[in-house]
A and B are shown apart, each in its own frame.
Chain A
Amino acid sequence: EVQLVESGGGLVQPGRSLRLSCAASGFSFGDYAMNWFRQAPGKGLEWVGFIRSKAYGGTTEYAASVKGRFTISRDDYRRIAYLQMSGLRTEDTAVYFCGRPYSTTLFHAFRFWGQGTLVTVSS
């Protein structure tokens, strides 16, 4: 059974940093791109970014709203994807989800999601 479990959320002051983790099980983690999404309170879904599998260079892409402030990385041995967030702003307050594509080729349909972790940016 595929499982994704996010952790690391919490209350953080504006301008500070926070690292989220997404622990994966039940599939060959290294074969898949891993994505991060967020949902501000009462708002819709927003894609944050993703990291490709090593087979595709392990490179990353980010939404314009977080580019230069957020960094996604992966540890295939530990089966964990990370979202390092720096220079946090109040508008980054959201539930953050990690997501796995449907398949290694159908890379932008997200079949599996974690339960989410809440990040609150406030002084």
Chain B
Amino acid sequence: QSVLTQPPSASGTPGQRVTISCSGSSSNIGSNTVNWYQQLPGTAPKLLIYSNDQRPSGVPDRFSGSKSGTSASLAISGLQSEDEADYYCAAWDDSLNGPVFGGGTKLTVL
């Protein structure tokens, strides 16, 4: 049981916009910034969004993040086949004194 809650799956067709939600509590998302990771099969996670809505260099602007209260979301516009991956949200948890992750959302590009 993950501390942060994500839908297990999401899907979309090429060119569409999809969003993935992430729900937490006052000890994590409610009081700290949210990061998002993309993980392709058999590879290490890749930082996609940090500090709620910032993109590391090299991440396309098709990816965007937002946060409100104890929830956050990742949006992917202009969906491409290479976006098919697992996506994880994460945030520092003040009660656990460490980062916590969502269970992951498997994105399928139809």
Contacts and interface: CB of A to CB of B under 8 A. Distances in A.
Contacts of B56: 102, 111
A31 B35 CA distance: 22
Interface in B64-88: 86, 88
Interface string B77-110: 0000000001010111000111111111000000
What does DSSP make chain A's interface, helix, strand, loop or mixed?
strand
A97 B37 CA distance: 14
B98 A63 contact: yes
Given A44-B101, A45-B101, A45-B104, A108 B47 contact: no
Interface string A10-45: 000000000000000000000000010000000011
A61 B92 CA distance: 13
Chain B, interface size category, equals 20 to 34
A47 B100 contact: yes
B47 A102 contact: yes
Interface residues of A, number: 22
A63 B99 CA distance: 9
B44 A106 contact: no
In the complex, which of the residues A44, A110, A114 has the most CB atoms of chain B within 10 Å of its own CB atom? A44
A108 B104 contact: no
Given A109-B35, A111-B56, A45 B88 contact: yes
Contact of A108 (B37, B44, B99): B99
B39 to A, nearest CB: 8
A59 B32 CA distance: 22
B50 to A, nearest CB: 4
B35 to A, nearest CB: 5
Interface string A86-117: 00000000000100001000101111011110
A73 to B, nearest CB: 17
Interface in B13-72: 32-33, 35, 37, 39, 43-47, 50-51, 56
A50 B90 CA distance: 16
Nearest to A114: B44
Interface of A: 35, 44-47, 49-50, 61-64, 97, 102, 106, 108-111, 113-116
